[in-house]
A and B are shown apart, each in its own frame.
Chain A
Amino acid sequence: MTLFGYRVPMMASLLVWCVVWEIVGRLDLIFLLPPFSDVLAAAFNLVQTSSWQSATVTTLRAFATGMALSIVIGVPLGVLMGRVKIADDLLGMWVNIFSSAPLSAIVPVLMILFGFGEKTIVAAVFLFAIWIIVLDTRAGVRHISPSLIEMARSYGASRPALYTKIILWAALPEILAGIRLGLIRGVKGVVIGQLLVAIVGYGALFETFSRNFRMAEFWALTIILFAFALLIAELIERAEAKVEYYAGARQ
């Protein structure tokens, strides 16, 4: 971003928006928007409440479980589709449909299937995250140079060795990219799931805050969620950069 010809770093531009928020908030124009300083204060108080802490634990647990499931199932599924034509023909269409479908519409169905509880949240995270992981893994496996696979075969690699020593590693940059995008989608899944179920974790908190018009706390919670999503994306990006360095100039 540039302002009057100067390069403004990300943090600075964020600061500008915070100031704008503060001013608009203080003008008391919109009841829904309290001053930013109030939101910060609310956030500070919020994180000390036991209801926030237990909501966070519930949310993180549901998120982690859903993500773990979608990685553990998504990566092998993507590898399978990348390697076996029949599997690709059979599953390809569905994976593509689900990866671009408006999945929020399915969450109510999940509620019917899994009840009004944590299971539904886990299922929502899983459903949001898995498809992009499958697709990116598949693409990564497809792009492995055939000679690398021939190399492993010619030096006597067993089938398991071929997968664990060559295929997974050669596709690792794409797999990690898929997981990063999956994590971001998973955050969406956990938020939407909780908002719809509304009696678990952050969903319950959001419900309480908005029903009682506690806007400062409402925004504080939103900001905490955003920060969490950004943090996760940043962490994964770091991990990826490290792998890119080794995978470097892929031949």
Chain B
Amino acid sequence: MGATALRNGPSPVPAPIDSIVEVRGISKTYGNVEALRGIDLDFPRGKLTSLLGPSGCGKTTLLKIIAGLIRADGGTVAINGKRVSAPGPERAFVFQDFALMPWATVTRNVAFGLELRGTNKAEREETARRYIAEVGLAGFEDKYPHELSGGMRQRVGLARALSVDADVLLLDEPFSAVDEQNRRKFQEDLIRLRTNQNKTFIFVTHSIEEAVYISDRIVLLSPRPGRVSQIIEPEIDRSGDPERIHRDRHYLDTVDEIWQGLKQYVE
């Protein structure tokens, strides 16, 4: 077995040693669509956790509830032990469609979180430049979003999230609007970033390969109403060449294991 299945079925899980985000009994219904039912989850500090599940199972809804962008009908979210119900500086969001301001340069887009916090211009542009370089966009500081490719735009979105120095990064299918080559490159960069930045990532995806490739922990959600169906911790050594991971036995086994679990929903 390439992974440790922590549990099966929707019973509450004992809290890991140090969890930065704690989700308790979250449920959400849109009109008569029950999107989430009784979600209990803990996200360990400094790890990358993926939310994986079939389309429409409520991944985005859960992520946005954690972000404080959507109100849950029931349940609580706590960050660093403190209950939250609105956006806060300890979380930063990366959007599926990038959500860049088309009228602003890369620098201003990246610095926007700091601008809203009232950081002075020189300081925030300095910070922005650092993260623009960090995501590999040095030289594009004064470009406008429409002058960039999809992959580059999402790098801007990522740099913006990094520059506010939040503890938790919430990413909603950040690579789904990015072409395949760029996605590969991006995934490698994310692995590198996670080691450098010591942040907690919560990552929504519906690609099994992507989840296994980048995650320390994978939360499988069942189809609507979304519930936690399984938690998997792939034990993959990511220290070496990222290319190698795709041929790693554990990697292949875990992908297969998850596929076996999800297959029932597809058929």
Contact = CB atoms under 8 A, between A and B. Distances in A.
A127 B67 CA distance: 45
B140 interface: no
B95 A147 contact: yes
A156 B87 contact: yes
Kindly name the residue among A158, A161, A166, A251 whose own CB sees the greatest number of chain B CB atoms within 10 A: A251
Interface string B58-102: 000000100111000000000000000001110111011111111
B92 to A, nearest CB: 7
Given A154-B92, A155-B116, A156-B113, A148 B144 contact: no
A247 B100 CA distance: 11
A148 B101 contact: yes
Contacts, number: 73
B21 interface: no
A251 B145 CA distance: 9
Contacts of B98: 251
Contact of B87 (A153, A248, A249): A153
Contacts of A145: 97, 99
Nearest to A169: B103
A234 interface: no
A31 interface: no
Given A246-B144, A251-B97, A155 B103 contact: no
Contacts of B88: 156
B251 interface: no
Contacts of A154: 67-69, 87, 91-93
B152 to A, nearest CB: 13
A188 B112 CA distance: 43
Contact of A150 (B93, B101, B116, B146): B93
Given A156-B113, A248-B102, A251-B102, A151 B93 contact: yes
B99 A148 contact: yes
Given A145-B97, A155-B116, A150 B89 contact: no
B206 to A, nearest CB: 18
Contacts of B95: 147, 150-151
Interface of A: 145, 147-148, 150-158, 161, 165-166, 169-170, 172, 243, 246-251
